[in-house]
Structure 1
Amino acid sequence: MASPTATERRLAASIAAHESWAATPDRSARTAPARRALEDKFLAEAGGDPRRAEHLRRAYFQRLALKSARARRRSRELAAEAVTADAELAALGGDAS
């Protein structure tokens, strides 16, 4: 039997994840250790100062938001470039489909 492709492995993992979450009665309890570990990480980085830890946490999530906004903007730019390229190709008599 052939080895599964990357796509097949990804689909199998996705199915397993959905089944696992479907069998989880308390989602909050399941994710509590990870949330606690992240808060502990910020607290450790802040040298135990909860106020500084809160600022580190906010900066972290704002940094994620900035990366997300940049990625969405880049995606829109690429989509616009594709539309322009398709229109140019169609104008030249090519197949834009």
Structure 2
Amino acid sequence: MPANDPEVRSLAARIMAAERWGHTTDRTAATAPARAGLRAKFAREVDPDGILPADELETRVGHLMHAHMLRMSLASKASRARRRAERDAS
């Protein structure tokens, strides 16, 4: 199978993820930098000049994080529905 085949790439990515998490003792600590980076990105979006009080900034960042997670959930649901439709059509 060619490496540019989406199924092969997906399987390879799943293998790599399984290996990574198999060698990781603290998943929360391992993903902390990514979460901090995303929060920082949202903080820059809502307060590019750095003038908001810390509690207001945290509230707004929390709302943006929530919206981001909801968008990912919606995309996941659409992807599952699309795969289900493709599987049922074949």
Superposed displacement of residue 9, structure 1: 4.6
TM-score, length-normalised on structure 1?
0.56
- CA distance in 2 between counterparts of 1:15 and 1:73 reads 20
Count of residue pairs the alignment pairs up? 80
Secondary structure of the residue aligned to 1:25 is: coil
- CA distance in 1 between counterparts of 2:20 and 2:27 reads 11
- In structure 2, the partner of 1:78 is 85
Unpaired stretches in structure 2, ≥5 consecutive residues: 51-56
- CA distance in 2 between counterparts of 1:28 and 1:56 reads 21
Letter in 2 for 1:65: S
TM-score, length-normalised on structure 2?
0.60
Structure 1 segment 15-34 matched on structure 2, within 5 A? 15-34=15-34
Deviations 1:44-76 (A, max 9, x none): 11105222222222222223333344x168449
Larger radius of gyration: 1
Q: Report % sequence identity.
A: 43
Letter in 2 for 1:40: A
Structure 1 segment 45-56 matched on structure 2, within 5 A? 45-47=45-47, 48=50, 49-56=57-64
